[in-house]
A and B are shown apart, each in its own frame.
Chain A
Amino acid sequence: MSSQEVILREKSGLVGVSVPRLDTGAKVTGRAMYTRDMRLPRMLFASIKRSPFAHARIKAVDTSKAKVLPGVRVITVGKDFPPMTTEDTPALAVDEVLYTNQAVVAVAAETRLAAQRAVEAIEVAYEELPGVFDPGVAMSAETPVVITHPGEKQESPNVGRHVFLRTGDADKGFEKADVVIENTYSTSMESHFQLEPLSFLAQPDPDGGVTIWGTSSGPHKTQAEVSRYLGLSTYQVRVKTPYLGGWFGSKEESHIAAVCAMLALKAKRPVKLELSRAETMTATGVRHPSKIHIKDGLSKDGKVIAREIRAIYNGGAYGSLGNNVMRNSLYGACSVYDIPNLKMDVYRVYTNQTPGTPKRAPIGLQVVWAIESQMEFVASELKLDPIEFRKRNLLVDGGMNGLGEVVEGASFNECLTKVMNSIGWGQRQPQNGPWKTGKGLAIAAKWGPTGPHQAMVRVRENGKVEVWADLVENGGGIYTGVLQIVATEFGIAAEDVMIMPFILGASESATSGLSGGASASRQLVNVGKAAQLACLDVKRKIAEHASSKLNVGASEIDVLGGVVFERKNPKNSVKLSDMFVFSNVLAGKLSVGAYVSGDEFVGYGTVNKASAGIDTATGRSKGGRLSPYYIPVCQAAEVAVNVETGQVKVLRMAAAMDVGKAINPEIVRGQIIGSATMSMSAALGEEMVLSNGRITNANLADYKILNVLDAPAMDPIILETEYHNGPFGAKGAGEPSSLPTAACIGNALHDAIGVWFTALPITPERVLEALSGPG
């Protein structure tokens, strides 16, 4: 830590303080503007014609009847877009549909009803083709269908991505093992089920470009993707992301934004596209269903000496972002335990289903469910205490993980102690009638994102500081977190920081530097750090200008609380406002004074965390970090199970998470609770039911999401092992405690009723089946 940071920290009032959220007032009073609320003059409404088949050839599209209906303005088809050059989902299907409800034709009309009537009047002739739905079949030689995309080479049929890891020598490890234990774990297809369905509003711009307000995960990502879909230059696409009504990865796909933009450009009028709940559930991405086989070789004293993992993810019909997140499987599997010999193969397989996309800590829930259930099972087989068994295998600081990264900040033991104390580990409640109780625990560590992130700050003549950056308020509290960092750097009050996306009502590609958006809990650690660096940059500029006034070198000068001063002799100072030049800009009676800066006091910050690169032979790091850091999290649950009905109630959960530094502890606690309850719902309730690739329960009555009455008492615990490259030591908090929830509930169920679960979700029906034994 620099000496400057030490000084700031002593002066700081806001880092580590639960400052009330900037957006709370607008949200609780209903004033916060979401895309769905937005209207523009002369706005048209869009509607989409979708495929009734999981796999079919498009023989003909006849729009003649739709075109002449009252109020219909424009109709667009797949061929209106430049041909696809990647494995991504096309804006509209061309020649072939690859999953049920894939978008085929889009209409814009004067009213919603006119648009819907036009969609009904469009006739699409299909030739239905055989579909493939099981990834095991899809990747075999017997597959009835091979799904390929432009520019793609598959190593075997339908394998969209294969990532692997070879560490040590797994085969030799198994030879040396005293015991070998194998199991297969599975998870189901889930919806992200964010509250806000996808919505876009596109407006043609004077230069032939387009401005899009929408439910996008990040303005720069959507800008880059939509410009490619439309064949426009990047800077002709301006994307604004207002408040998101929940996100969790559901808003990564830009092909829907591209459809809306195309309609607006063709109609030369603003167009609104509002997807229904069913469309959002069936055609914008789902959590990848998985099947994960784990084989462990163990020594008698409880060391895992070899582990082999073969994981198959059902990727659905397109690559999209799903292919790119497959490596998370490796990070999730290597971030907790010290296993010398590892062999992992991870496949993402194409099928005729809705594409798999990232969902909160993508691929992590699946991996951790499998590994932490396996760890519990193995401990039981070896007759070892499950905590003691885990402790014998934990990574420790200074060691090396399976990916070849040096271990840092591995506070697993501290996390374990905290949650065990909280949940009353080892104490059993008296059993009551058909309800049996039990406790379980699981550990994980969440990886972090790489890539460049930028921010700009401008110091105003009245002492206020503007923050210009791509900050997507997806509910995680990022406006407030960055505000606290900047206020602290300048020693000013919260009211004196102007988070421009908050004031403008959206995060804008046109007025901000680069960011990867809201994904991967990246904003606070990266854009927050960039904002901190931008503060230091502008303070350096101010110091240079003050140097002659204060008669000391610029490096001796700091800016805090509206005062520019010599650090060793704070009395030698000048007011920040005196650094600006005062002038009258208007003459006569109405003359007012205005401050004009002698120089633009603007600072820039860039954080660019590059990956060390991957050795193509082993899948390991070439030397250095692949994930900039890991966030340890440990979670425990107490459950009650009704042995007559199979109902499961989670009574209590405790989660301890090491976030580096909690800039705003209350927000961090909210994220811990939110992540854990979301995964509890995945563990016990959520499951997309499919019939020949068609999702049959895309509504709230049939897709079971646990609700507020099902939420347990929750103890969110914050640990802080500072991360040297984060703002004030912070990492991220948005995802990690979604990782261990399912496994700790499964392990608690075993404690309660003595049966093992290997498939999610654990429904009442599956509980009774498990209790009545096989057959």
Chain B
Amino acid sequence: MYELANEGGLSDVERLIDITGLGLNYVRVKGESIQIGAATTFAEVGASPDLAKADVLAISETAKKITPPQVRNLGTVGGALCSGIPFYDMPTSVLALGARIKVTSPDGERVIESDEFFVDYFVTAISQDEILTEIELKKRPNTGSAFAKLGRLSADFAVVNAAATTTLGSNGKVEDLRVAMGAVASTPIRLKSVEDALRGKEASRDAVVNASKAAAEIEATPSVHASTAYKKKVMPVMVRDALLSSIERARGRSN
């Protein structure tokens, strides 16, 4: 790196600050919440027993699906969120879980709801003088969460990804849910039409397949390797897979 800098090979970078020593890599349970330090690597997230619970499983499932291992060992949850890159995987799951995102500045700490966090391509709600310090998840009973991804290659960015958190009522029906999708707009997005179509309904495969169809209404941004028309065909499939898996997990917990 030094040699490269010396020969002028790092033209756009003036200063690099190493934040790995700030003690921000942890996963801890505090009462009804699970806190993930911003500098926790995907590998650490994937290995955490506290995140291996049905209601928050989407997070560790996402971390495990990120390839290759070199990225899992160096990439962090906070980094994935701060990048503002809409086709990353972790932001979709964080949004589907309705996480609270803590940022810190010289003026103190503030919390940004995940619904407010993603603003535009490469733009988040973090200000210039703030750093992301923690992601907080809420424990929820009778709840399952899951992540589904379609890439062109086995180790690849998402063409489309989806995540879902589903809470079942005592009657077995869908009491509440959050569904999010990535790589289809300038930020990861909530799919409220899918949520509305399934809320209060039977948690059956037919109901899920039916509700997932609403995902195709999104005019997904095309990319070099996937047109809007193609994304419209596969979005309902990814949403369906995430929902079905989240319901299975919710049942596993309620049983």
What is the interface of chain A, defined by CB distance below 8 A to chain B? 45, 111-116, 644-647, 685, 689, 696-697, 701-702, 704-707, 709-710, 763-765, 768
Query: What are 19 A-B interface contacts by the 8 Å CB criterion?
Result: A111-B8, A113-B11, A115-B8, A644-B234, A645-B237, A646-B234, A697-B224, A702-B225, A704-B152, A706-B153, A707-B153, A707-B154, A709-B67, A710-B154, A763-B225, A764-B226, A764-B234, A765-B225, A768-B234
Choose one: A115, A116, A647, A689; the contact of B224 (CB below 8 Å). Answer: A689
CB atoms of A696 and B224 under 8 A apart: yes
Q: B111: CB under 8 A from chain A?
A: no
CB atoms of A116 and B11 under 8 A apart: yes
Q: Which residues does chain A contribute within 8 Å of B223, judged by CB atoms?
A: 702
Q: Which residues does chain A contribute within 8 Å of B156, judged by CB atoms?
A: 704
B233 to chain A, nearest CB (A): 6
Q: Which residues does chain A contribute within 8 Å of B233, judged by CB atoms?
A: 768
Q: B157: CB under 8 A from chain A?
A: yes
CB atoms of A704 and B8 under 8 A apart: no
Choose one: A689, A704, A765, A768; the contact of B153 (CB below 8 Å). Answer: A704
Q: Which residues does chain A contribute within 8 Å of B225, judged by CB atoms?
A: 702, 704, 763, 765
Closest to B223 in A: A702
Q: Which residues does chain A contribute within 8 Å of B226, judged by CB atoms?
A: 764-765
- 5 further A-B contacts with Cβ under 8 Å, apart from A116-B8, A701-B157, are A112-B9, A702-B225, A704-B152, A709-B67, A764-B234
B contact residues, total (Cβ < 8 Å): 22
Q: Which residues does chain B contribute within 8 Å of A645, judged by CB atoms?
A: 150, 234, 237
CB atoms of B227 and A765 under 8 A apart: yes
CB atoms of A114 and B8 under 8 A apart: yes
Secondary structure dominating the interface of A: loop
> Within B39-96, which residues are at the interface with A (CB < 8 Å)?
67
Closest to A645 in B: B234
Q: Knowing A697-B224, A765-B230 touch, does A111 contact B152 (C-beta < 8 A)?
A: no
Q: Which residues does chain B contribute within 8 Å of A707, judged by CB atoms?
A: 153-155
A643 to chain B, nearest CB (A): 10
A1 to chain B, nearest CB (A): 48
Closest to A709 in B: B154
Q: Knowing A701-B157, A704-B153, A706-B153 touch, does A764 contact B230 (C-beta < 8 A)?
A: yes
Closest to B8 in A: A113
> Within B98-149, which residues are at the interface with A (CB < 8 Å)?
none
CB atoms of B155 and A709 under 8 A apart: yes
- How far apart are the CA atoms of A113 and B10 in the complex, in Å? 8
CB atoms of A685 and B153 under 8 A apart: yes
A615 to chain B, nearest CB (A): 46
Q: B32: CB under 8 A from chain A?
A: no
CB atoms of A647 and B7 under 8 A apart: no
Of A685, A706, A764, most B-chain CB atoms within 10 Å = A764
Q: Which residues does chain A contribute within 8 Å of B11, judged by CB atoms?
A: 113, 116
- How far apart are the CA atoms of A702 and B159 in the complex, in Å? 11
Q: Which residues does chain B contribute within 8 Å of A45, judged by CB atoms?
A: 7-8
A344 to chain B, nearest CB (A): 34
CB atoms of B152 and A685 under 8 A apart: yes
Indicate with 1 or 0, residue by residue over B152-190, a CB within 8 angstroms of chain A CB atoms.
111111010000000000000000000000000000000
A38 to chain B, nearest CB (A): 13
- How far apart are the CA atoms of A282 and B205 in the complex, in Å? 48
- How far apart are the CA atoms of A702 and B156 in the complex, in Å? 10
Closest to B231 in A: A765
Q: Which residues does chain A contribute within 8 Å of B230, judged by CB atoms?
A: 646, 764-765, 768
A248 to chain B, nearest CB (A): 20
- How far apart are the CA atoms of A696 and B67 in the complex, in Å? 25
- How far apart are the CA atoms of A647 and B234 in the complex, in Å? 11
Choose one: A112, A701, A710, A765; the contact of B7 (CB below 8 Å). Answer: A112
Q: Which residues does chain A contribute within 8 Å of B157, judged by CB atoms?
A: 701
- How far apart are the CA atoms of A221 and B67 in the complex, in Å? 41
Q: Which residues does chain A contribute within 8 Å of B227, judged by CB atoms?
A: 765
> Within B216-248, which residues are at the interface with A (CB < 8 Å)?
223-227, 230, 233-234, 237
Choose one: B8, B150, B159, B224; the contact of A112 (CB below 8 Å). Answer: B8
Q: Which residues does chain B contribute within 8 Å of A763, judged by CB atoms?
A: 152, 225
CB atoms of B150 and A111 under 8 A apart: no
